[in-house]
Amino acid sequence: MAHAAAVNRPPERGLDVYTQKVGMWVFLCSEVMFFAGLIGSYIVLRFGALENTWPEPAEVLAVNITAFNTFLLICSSVTMVKAFAAAQAHDDQGIKKWLLATTLIGAGFLGVQVYEYNELINHHFTPSNCVVVRNGVEETCSILYGSTFYTMTGFHGFHVLLGVICLGWATIRAYRGHWSGGNSRGIEILGLYWHFVDLVWIILFTIVYLI
Amino acid sequence: MDWSLPPNFSTHGDVIDQLFWIILGLTGLAFVLVEGGIIWFLVRYRGTPSRRAHYTHGSNRLEVVWTVIPAVIIVVLGGYSAMVWDDIKNENKFPEDALEFTVIGKQFEWNVVYPGVDEVLGTSDDFEVRNQFHFPAGENVIVNLRSEDVIHSFFIPELRVKQDAVPGMDNIRIWFDSREPGQFEIACAELCGLGHYRMEASVTAHARADFDAWQASQVAENGGE
Amino acid sequence: MRFDYRSRVAAALLTGVLYAACGGSDGGDADAGNGESGGEAAAEVAAIDPSTVGTISGTINFSGDAPAMEAIDMSAEPDCAAGFGDEGPMMQSVVVNGGGLANVFVYLSAGVMDAPAPYGAATLDQTNCRYAPHVMGVQAGQTIEITNSDNLLHNINATPTENRGFNISQPRAGITSRQSFAVAEVMVPLRCDVHGWMEAFVGVVDHPYFGVSGDGGMFTISNVPAGTYTMTAWHEQYGTMGMEVTVTAGETTMADFDHTGLQMAGHLVGEPLVIHHGSDEVVFNRAQQ
Amino acid sequence: MATAIAEPTGRAVIEEAHPQSFLRKYLFSTDHKVIAAQFLFYTLFFLMIGGLLAVLMRQQIAWPTEPLTLGGILPETMVAKATDGAYMLPEFYNALVTMHGSVMVFLAIMPMLVGVWANFLIPLQLGAHDMAFPRLNMLSFWTMVPAGILTLASFFVVGGAAGAGWTLYAPLSARPDLTGVEMGQILWLIALVFVGLSSILGSVNYITTVINMRAPGMTWFRMPLTVWALFITAILGLLAMPVLSAAGIMLIFDQTIGTSFFIPSNAAGDALSGQPLLWQHLFWFFGHPEVYILILPAMGFTSEILAVGSRKPVFGYKAMVWALISIAFLGFIVWGHHMFQSGMNPALGLAFTVSTLFIAVPSAIKTFNWMGTMWRGNLQLHSAMLFAVGFVAMFAIGGLSGVFMASTPVDIYIHDTYFIVAHIHYVLFGGSLFALFGAIYFWFPKMFGRMMNETLGKIHFWLTLVLFNVVFFPMHGVGMAGMMRRIYDWTGYQHLEGIGATNQIITIAAVGLFASGFLFAFNFFWSIWKGEKAPDNPWGASTLEWSVPSPPKHGNWSEIPVVYHGPHEYSHPDVTDKDWLGQNERPDVVTPAAGSH
């Protein structure tokens, strides 16, 4: 480029961020809107429900188990950060260890969620049925509670499942040495996704289980 | 060919029609300007190999002009529309002397609950008639709209009234009148299923005496329950 | 009076008993023959040895005061209203004539070992904005030919609980649609949403041994293999009644049902009509699904 | 310079060196140009299907009480066979109404605007070797394929295709017993989720490419307006489509697993009630940005073609960009104007009126700037230019008729009448489709390496322009007379007695309009094989795609170009040998910095 010097402004080629990372951020914007749609519907339906038809979360859900599950998922975010740090630090053993830990904790979260679903369905809390026991008497409650609960947590669980599959694949690659030598981009992008899923869960846990 | 608004019978229909013609005038003017300009440019600046186009990247002054002028027109139009809308739809401004009816849409019928001779809904002399809406002309009418199954839309073209009836939302209230007696129809304006096109009911605006007589005959027919 | 419009169907079914007027004059016009067509058709297809089959015949007796039917307001459909006399069209839910109750679906509810395959088609007509017949029976899998004789829109909305439902329309006269129900279900309600009063009931059973009482309450079930059965009668207002019948080859078993009209107690306006047959319970209302 | 190329592009160059199998080259290609061509064939097919549905529908509207011509060949789920012929069934009419809208919006116009042209133009106009994520790009096309298959299949399942309108208003769309449609509705919703997925994958790709893969010197304000429009559109798609997907999935659940998000219960005061209006809010939160997804790229193409055809820079480039951005932003806060008569709180109507009317301002800016671009130009009236001018003329009508609906009191009367039908078709057909035809005539040489026939193109334009107006202008009148949308037979209404002749004229013209599409199709396919060989830059255009051979080879550039000028430099006084200046040539010529005035 001989006449490049004649250009009166410096060449612009975009952000100082590599393309895959930009792509993941853009994709996560889309995911935000997806969950915003679901959560927004939940809020509208919950506040639009007639009085006393929407049960208190503790009346139906086992909040303690889920609180433990939330703790698990937060831990997995920490291990994910550790894995990325290890990749940046060329620590091959660390990558394997922390990726494996993240995968297992993610799978553990899913396991607890499946257990929770199973228990709830056994107690006749389904997407189309809602029963609460008040003063020893079974009362029906708004089925929208179940509808929204299963849709939101189900889609979150689906995202966790996708994450766990990718993590598992990344772990296998770690054992094959794919991430060695500072090749940390894949782990960083996966980490972005994983933290996003974690963040969504914290919001869901707050509005579905606590409030 | 009938390309015009149907004759208007209602009070607020006058304002709606007036707004319609105002907007038609404004947009008609813009239409002539734009389309005329395009045609003129097409003729005037038709390409010839001998000519070169005028080199310009635009004019900030013109940009401001054609941003501000439409914006001002829009603000005025929006303000006026909002006032009229508020007069028609704001429940707090509904006339207090209005006669109330309940109209229930269901696939594919309009069932009208009449207040009866005491002119109060929810009392024992209420009665219901399928697909016939009678009311006294020259008096204010409030309709409580309901739907049993899907969304219907209550539309009487000559009275310039249209409102969706939504299942699960009790009593969407609308207000209108017919200044003169007339024979109209309720059409359903929202796709409601395979009989949508046939969801029509007759509407009769009676002189008060005729309405009373009609009501009396209905009460007699239903055996004074 | 003021309706609870949310349960209009139940109301429409039951309001008939609240009024007094002459009943049954226009009730069973086209009913009697059609209900038995399934049985007759079956007789045609398989050569039946008359020495092995018998006939059940009887009457649905109705004692007590026959409730008067409510008039149907057909003023919005003048073409249909013109098809009726001075009295105008009446509801058909309770039709009593000469002490007999029409539109009762009678079928063998237990004891049938095996049955011939369905043969031929049952017909259902829409004429003067009413279904003819009002109550009919078909064998599971048998074709129902639904015809529109009115030159206006009818839709036929079938809302079964066991079978696959359908909701089709017939916008003008001369159109015939073919439908069927795959499994036994007593009864499948059909309605026309354009004309809220139009309702019909189809009893779907696994065999051709059923009948519908005609004007005067008479019913006949023919070509029934000899044996002992439970026979059940169903009526849209009065629910069901069962009895044991024994059919002897070559003979006609007479079996009557007696309705006092009291069974409707407990069915109040606004409540769904619950009908028991055997251990099953069929609830007729406009459930969502 | 070549060594400085970033790594995703390196692979594209390598791939080029290897001979590819037919499958890899044409079917599962990752080349953005091949994917664009795939989208083009796909969307032209569905454009034809959508048109066919419209013609069938129009026949019923014009002669509501007559049997259907050739109706006998349709199955009994669509027509009723009586002795004097086959009559269309109302449920099939509802399916036509629904699927015409759905197919045109989701399977024809939107993927044609974005799938075809964002794919084809973004890398070429920005000077990139390919998209940021070529394999994701391929996936984006292949997720559209099941959507199309499911849509076509839905016509032949029991109960027929979806019949609750393209807006899918619940609870009509949520309860099979209310429509008689079971599988058809679910299939269409699943197709919609696929469309959403495809659109989101595409958007991620386009946005990332625009952000990160611009050639050196291609600053934000040197991007062609087409790329700007496609970029803003991709953002709209990225943020709006997932909301529709979420709502669509909830609707599928209502249909299948017994939830009741949008189904109110029958009895008053029942605790189980879902909210029908929630569907409308979700749908239109998506739906209004969708309207701009359907028009913004068309605006981009028009700006580009008008500049080339007028031999002038785009008048007010920056104003055009800001108008695009403000339309997109306003697009997210005006959804309620579709719901003025829906039972929504009337006070909300006030807020939505104001925001809606304000969209008229950037639309007016754009229209005046297009006229400004033509002003004192040297107009070359080739087919592409004719369609671009046609776009401005027709979009103006569509925009002006929108003012009627934005005024809430007038909307009381014209809501859900044919006035609205006229309005959306002036925007979607007179607008988007005119611009799309223009874009096809304009970029066809670059895509296929051959020219389209100009004479046929001009005949196609005049036929389309005249017939389009004969079809849709009278709909304003029919709407003023009060004809409701989506009615199978209007003859029963006293206020509609006078519209028979108008409806028949509309239908006859609509058949002609549909037929004129085949003239275009003939020209299109004939030109692919037999058209005149195209030079690299047949129109004398200045953007980067015209500096490479027609068609460009895999990888587009052996060496990434460097950009020195704004995108639309025509008739520059310092350039005397020709009347255009390529973005990547003659750094010595001074052009206005970043398209300022």
- pLDDT tens digits, B138-167: 999 999 999 988 999 999 999 999 999 999
What's residue C16's pLDDT? 35
- Interface with D, mutate which of B107, B196, B198 (most D CBs under 10 A): B196
| CB pair distance less than 8 Å for D489 and C171 | yes
Task: Flag whether A24 is in a domain.
Answer: yes
Complex-level ipTM beyond the 0.95 threshold:
no
Please tell me the distance in Å from D54's CA to the nearest CA on chain A: 32
Q: Domain containing A99: what range? A: 16-210
Rg (CA), chain B: 25
Residues C84-116: tens digit of each pLDDT: 877 778 888 888 888 888 999 999 998 888 888
CA distance D72 to D86: 5
The list of chain B residues with pLDDT below 50 reads 1, 224-225
Write out chain D residues lying below 8 Å of A49, CB-based. Answer: 271
For the B11-91 domain, the top CATH level (class) is mainly alpha
The chain D residue lying nearest C5, using CA atoms, is D267
The chain D residue lying nearest B6, using CA atoms, is D481
Residues D282-318: tens digit of each pLDDT: 999 999 999 999 999 999 999 999 999 999 999 999 9
| CB pair distance less than 8 Å for B148 and C5 | yes
Q: How many CB atoms lie within 10 A of CB B221?
A: 12
Collapsed DSSP state (helix, strand, coil) of residue B132: strand
A167 token code pair: 């993590």
Task: Flag whether C289 is in a domain.
Answer: no
Select the residue of D83, D90, D266 nearest C171 (Cβ to Cβ). D90
Write out chain B residues lying below 8 Å of C152, CB-based. Answer: 198
Task: Flag whether A4 is in a domain.
Answer: no
Task: Flag whether C13 is in a domain.
Answer: yes
| CB pair distance less than 8 Å for C168 and D267 | no
**Domain definitions of chain B by residue range:** 11-91, 94-221
The chain D residue lying nearest B29, using CA atoms, is D400
Q: What is the DSSP string of chain A?
A: -GGGGG-SS------SS-HHHHHHHHHHHHHHHHHHHHHHHHHHHHHHSPTTTS--HHHHS-HHHHHHHHHHHHHHHHHHHHHHHHHHTT-HHHHHHHHHHHHHHHHHHHHHHHHHHHHHHHTT-BTTB-EEEETTEEEE--HHHHHHHHHHHHHHHHHHHHHHHHHHHHHHHHHTTTTTTT--HHHHHHHHHHHHHHHHHHHHIIIIII-
| CB pair distance less than 8 Å for C2 and B194 | no
Query: Do the domains B11-91 and B94-221 sit in the same CATH topology, yes or no?
Result: no
Beta bridge partners of B145: B103, B172
| CB pair distance less than 8 Å for D200 and A141 | no
**Mean pLDDT of all residues in C26-50:** 45
What's residue C261's pLDDT? 59
**Mean pLDDT of all residues in D340-349:** 87
| CB pair distance less than 8 Å for D178 and C167 | yes
Please tell me the distance in Å from C7's CA to the nearest CA on chain D: 8
| CB pair distance less than 8 Å for D570 and B55 | yes
Please tell me the distance in Å from A194's CA to the nearest CA on chain D: 18
Task: Flag whether A204 is in a domain.
Answer: yes
Write out chain B residues lying below 8 Å of C168, CB-based. Answer: 194
What's residue B127's pLDDT? 92
What's residue D27's pLDDT? 81
Peptide bond into C133 cis (omega under 30): yes
| CB pair distance less than 8 Å for D570 and B53 | yes
CA distance B105 to C5: 11
pLDDT at residue A142 above 50? yes
What's residue A10's pLDDT? 42
pLDDT at residue D520 above 90? yes
pLDDT at residue D269 above 50? no
Average pLDDT, chain A: 88
- Residues 2-41, chain A, touching D (beta carbon < 8 A): 3-4, 6-9, 11-15, 17-20, 22-23, 26-27, 29-31, 33-38, 40-41
What's residue B33's pLDDT? 95
Q: Is the minimum CB–CB distance between B165 and chain C shorter than 8 Å? A: no
Phi, psi of D331 (to 5 degrees): -55, -25
The chain B residue lying nearest C287, using CA atoms, is B149
- Interface with A, mutate which of D131, D207, D270 (most A CBs under 10 A): D207
Task: Flag whether A8 is in a domain.
Answer: no
| CB pair distance less than 8 Å for D214 and A3 | no
| CB pair distance less than 8 Å for D214 and A12 | yes
- Residues 103-162, chain A, touching D (beta carbon < 8 A): 127-128, 140-144, 146-148, 151, 155
The chain D residue lying nearest A41, using CA atoms, is D278
Residues A11-70: tens digit of each pLDDT: 456 677 889 999 999 999 999 999 999 999 999 998 888 777 788 888 888 888 999 999
What's residue C260's pLDDT? 67
Task: Flag whether A176 is in a domain.
Answer: yes
Residues A70-110: tens digit of each pLDDT: 999 999 999 999 999 999 998 889 999 999 999 999 999 99
Q: What is the DSSP string of C158-204?
A: E--SSSPPEEEEE-STTEEEEE--SS-EEEEEEE-SSSTT-EEEEEE
Confidence tier at D58 by pLDDT (50, 70, 90):
very high
What's residue D180's pLDDT? 87
Prediction pTM value: 0.90
Please tell me the distance in Å from C93's CA to the nearest CA on chain B: 19
Total structural domains within chain A: 1
- Interface with D, mutate which of B16, B55, B192 (most D CBs under 10 A): B55
What is each CA distance from D328 to C4, D246, D296, D333, in whole angstroms? 48, 21, 8, 10
Task: Flag whether C1 is in a domain.
Answer: no
| CB pair distance less than 8 Å for D260 and A1 | no
The chain C residue lying nearest B133, using CA atoms, is C76
Q: Is the minimum CB–CB distance between D82 and chain C shorter than 8 Å? A: yes
Q: Residue C6 burial by CB count (10 A; 0-12/13-18/19+): exposed, middle or buried?
A: buried
Write out chain A residues lying below 8 Å of D208, CB-based. Answer: 19, 22-23, 26
Beta bridge partners of C106: C211, C233
E strands within D21-90? Answer: 79-82, 85-88
Total structural domains within chain C: 1
Helix (H) or strand (E) holding C105: strand C105-110
Q: Is the minimum CB–CB distance between C115 and chain D shorter than 8 Å? A: no
Q: Is the minimum CB–CB distance between C171 and chain D shorter than 8 Å? A: yes
What's residue D458's pLDDT? 97
Task: Flag whether A147 is in a domain.
Answer: yes
Please tell me the distance in Å from D190's CA to the nearest CA on chain C: 21
What's residue D13's pLDDT? 42
| CB pair distance less than 8 Å for D343 and B71 | no
CA distance D517 to D303: 24
Q: Which fold has domain B94-221?
A: Immunoglobulin-like (2.60.40)
Select the residue of C6, C7, C167 nearest D180 (Cβ to Cβ). C167
CA distance D530 to D538: 17
| CB pair distance less than 8 Å for A144 and D261 | yes
Residues above pLDDT 70, as percent of chain C: 73
Of the two residues D269 and D460, the one the predictor is more confident about is D460
Residues D414-433: tens digit of each pLDDT: 999 999 999 999 999 999 99
Residue in this structure with the two tokens 């008497």, named with its chain if needed: A137
Q: Domain containing C182: what range? A: 6-284
**Mean pLDDT of all residues in D153-182:** 91
CATH number at residue C92: 2.60.40.420
| CB pair distance less than 8 Å for B157 and D319 | no
CA distance D8 to D218: 18
D91 token code pair: 């449920």
Q: Which long-range contacts (CB under 8 A, 24 or more apart) does A51-59 make?
A: A52/D271, A53/A141, A53/A142, A53/D271, A53/D272, A54/A141, A54/A142, A54/A144, A54/A145, A55/A130, A55/A132, A55/A141, A55/A142, A55/A145, A57/A208, A57/A209, A57/A210, A57/A211, A59/A132, A59/A133, A59/A134
CA distance A97 to A95: 6
Average pLDDT, chain D: 91
CB D587 within 8 A of CB D216: no
What's residue D319's pLDDT? 94
Write out chain C residues lying below 8 Å of D268, CB-based. Answer: 6
Residues D366-386: tens digit of each pLDDT: 999 999 999 999 999 999 999
If you count residue pairs, one on A and one on D, with CB atoms under 8 Å apart, how many are there? 153
Residues D468-485: tens digit of each pLDDT: 999 999 999 999 999 999
Write out chain D residues lying below 8 Å of B164, CB-based. Answer: 341-343
